[in-house]
């Protein structure tokens, strides 16, 4: 495909840019239409879109170009994609938020653009959220969650609902909505997101308590271990249990994370997250005087997970436990390994001082 560029001189008129846009897009669309295979056609189409994005810096110029694309597109899917791109930049181009709403509504009313329904529903709901119109926003999000709960836009809708719910009343509205949605989403990949953000919203409710957040997070941990938010849920639950004075429950939670589960593969078992769980669990065991169990977990951290970041923390904690137990030789060995392997560690200066003390009385 021939790629054209616009001479961005200060005296260039928008009319000249429009004419150039028509020429660029016409070449792109004709090339796409003439391609013998669908794969080649799509490549030519994406080249055309890339040309528009490279050529025009101003959003109003890009919107005009996308409109030309929509008018001359050879395939309906290409036309709809151009309409979506124009809608995404309309508010920035015109300064009028209502203009973008009209475009997204138009996409929803176009049967040929059904593959972009999830995006349009999300954008429409987000527009209403920004205008503080909760009811139409929730209507759009509800339709989106019912139509395509596994889509990227469904996850974004839940996140945006949380981000736009700073006030207690807004948080209650959002929380009620997500609670009502959860039963129908319980068997989807979105279920974990619903529970995760319900836990965060509970902290914003006037009558919300940390126990409410813990309950939602534990439900996520127990029912949806495949959720991408599962590690975050585990960590936040452990933090809340510790802050609320439930150290035994925190330890039990961390121990359960180490149990084998069907969805866990070798990569997960050697992950940075699991290593940090072992390190945290070792610290809790140390507080409880369970030194042998702590050293066992630290041994897994230090010896079985090469090149992962908490190893220096594990060595420092192991040295501290050996010191408590009066095992000076083992403490010295852990400190020397720490200094040799991690000279830039945050524990290096303390380890050096402690090693000097050990050598002075041995």
Report residue 64 as tokens: 């005009």
- Distance, in Å, from the CA atom of 191 to the CA atom of 117, rounded to the nearest integer, reads 21
Residue 138 belongs to a domain: yes
How is residue 111 annotated by DSSP? G
Domain-ending residue, one of 260, 285, 313: 260
Q: Please give the mean pLDDT across all residues of the chain.
A: 86
- Mean pLDDT, residues 323-352 taken together: 94
Domain-ending residue, one of 260, 291, 326: 260
Residue 131 CB partners (closer than 8 Å, separation 6+): 97
Residue 180 belongs to a domain: no
Indicate the pLDDT class of residue 10, thresholds 50, 70 and 90. very low
66-76 tens-digit pLDDT: 888 888 777 88
* Whether residue 136 sits in one domain with residue 102: yes
280-327 tens-digit pLDDT: 999 999 999 999 999 999 999 998 766 666 899 999 999 999 999 999
The Cα-based distances of 324 to 286, 290, 360 in angstroms read: 10, 12, 18
Report residue 181 as tokens: 């949605």
More confident: 33 or 149: 149
How is residue 259 annotated by DSSP? S
* Whether residue 345 sits in one domain with residue 299: yes
- Distance, in Å, from the CA atom of 110 to the CA atom of 342, rounded to the nearest integer, reads 61
Residue 345 belongs to a domain: yes
Residue 179 belongs to a domain: no
| SS3 state of residue 332 | helix
Q: Would the CA dihedral through 339, 341, 344, 346 be positive or negative?
A: negative
Residue 162 CB partners (closer than 8 Å, separation 6+): 174, 197, 200, 201
Dihedral, CA of residue 195, residue 200, residue 201 and residue 204, to nearest 10: 160
Q: What is the pLDDT of residue 49?
A: 77
Indicate the pLDDT class of residue 97, thresholds 50, 70 and 90. confident
Hey, which bits of the chain come out as E strands? none
* Whether residue 101 sits in one domain with residue 91: no
Using alpha carbons, select from 237, 239, 186, 178 the residue that is nearest to residue 205. 178
Specify the number of domains making up the chain: 4
Residue 21 has pLDDT above 90, yes or no: no
* Whether residue 321 sits in one domain with residue 270: yes
Residue 359 CB partners (closer than 8 Å, separation 6+): 332
CATH of the domain at 360: 1.25.40.10
Indicate the pLDDT class of residue 161, thresholds 50, 70 and 90. very high
| Residue owning tokens 């919203």 | 201
The boundaries of the domain holding residue 111 are 97-164
Residue 176 belongs to a domain: no
How is residue 37 annotated by DSSP? S
Q: Can you list the pairs that 333-339 forms with residues at least 24 positions away whose Cβ atoms lie under 8 Å? A: 337/302, 338/312
* Whether residue 355 sits in one domain with residue 282: yes
Q: What is the pLDDT of residue 38?
A: 64
Query: CB neighbours (10 Å) of residue 22?
Result: 15
* Whether residue 110 sits in one domain with residue 23: no
Residue 175 belongs to a domain: no
Residue 198 belongs to a domain: yes
77 alpha carbon, distance to own chain's centre: 28
- Mean pLDDT, residues 95-120 taken together: 91
């Amino acid at each position: 495909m021939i790629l054209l560029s616009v001479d961005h001189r200060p005296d260039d008129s928008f009319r000249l840019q429009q004419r150039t846009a028509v020429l660029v897009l016409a070449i792109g669309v004709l090339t796409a239409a003439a391609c013998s295979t669908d794969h080649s056609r799509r490549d030519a189409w994406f080249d055309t879109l890339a040309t528009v994005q490279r050529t025009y810096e101003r959003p109003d110029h890009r919107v005009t170009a996308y409109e030309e694309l929509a008018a001359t597109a050879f395939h309906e899917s290409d036309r709809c994609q151009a309409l979506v791109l124009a809608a995404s930049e309309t508010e920035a181009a015109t300064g009028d938020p209502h203009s973008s709403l009209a475009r997204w509504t138009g996409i929803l009313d176009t049967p040929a653009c059904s593959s972009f329904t999830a995006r349009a529903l999300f954008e429409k709901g987000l527009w209403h959220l920004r205008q503080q119109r909760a009811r139409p926003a929730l209507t759009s999000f509800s339709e989106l969650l019912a139509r395509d709960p596994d889509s990227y836009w469904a996850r974004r809708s839940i996140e945006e609902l949380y981000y736009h719910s700073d006030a207690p009343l807004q948080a209650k509205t959002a929380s009620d909505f997500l609670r009502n949605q959860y039963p129908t989403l319980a068997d989807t990949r979105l279920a974990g997101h619903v529970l995760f953000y319900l836990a965060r919203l509970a902290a914003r409710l006037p009558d919300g308590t940390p126990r409410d957040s813990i309950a939602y997070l534990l439900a996520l941990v127990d029912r949806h271990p495949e959720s991408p938010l599962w590690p975050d849920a585990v960590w936040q639950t452990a933090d809340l249990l510790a802050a609320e004075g439930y150290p035994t429950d925190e330890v039990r939670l961390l121990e359960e994370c180490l149990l084998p589960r069907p969805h866990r593969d070798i990569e997960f078992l050697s992950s940075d997250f699991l290593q940090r769980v072992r390190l945290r669990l070792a610290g809790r065991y140390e507080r409880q005087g369970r030194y042998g169990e702590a050293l066992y977990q630290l041994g897994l951290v230090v010896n079985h997970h090469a090149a992962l970041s908490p190893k220096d923390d594990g060595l420092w904690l192991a040295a501290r436990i050996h010191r408590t137990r009066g095992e000076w030789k083992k403490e010295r060995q852990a400190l020397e390994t720490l200094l040799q392997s991690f000279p830039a560690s945050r524990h290096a200066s303390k380890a050096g001082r402690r090693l000097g003390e050990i050598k002075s009385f041995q």
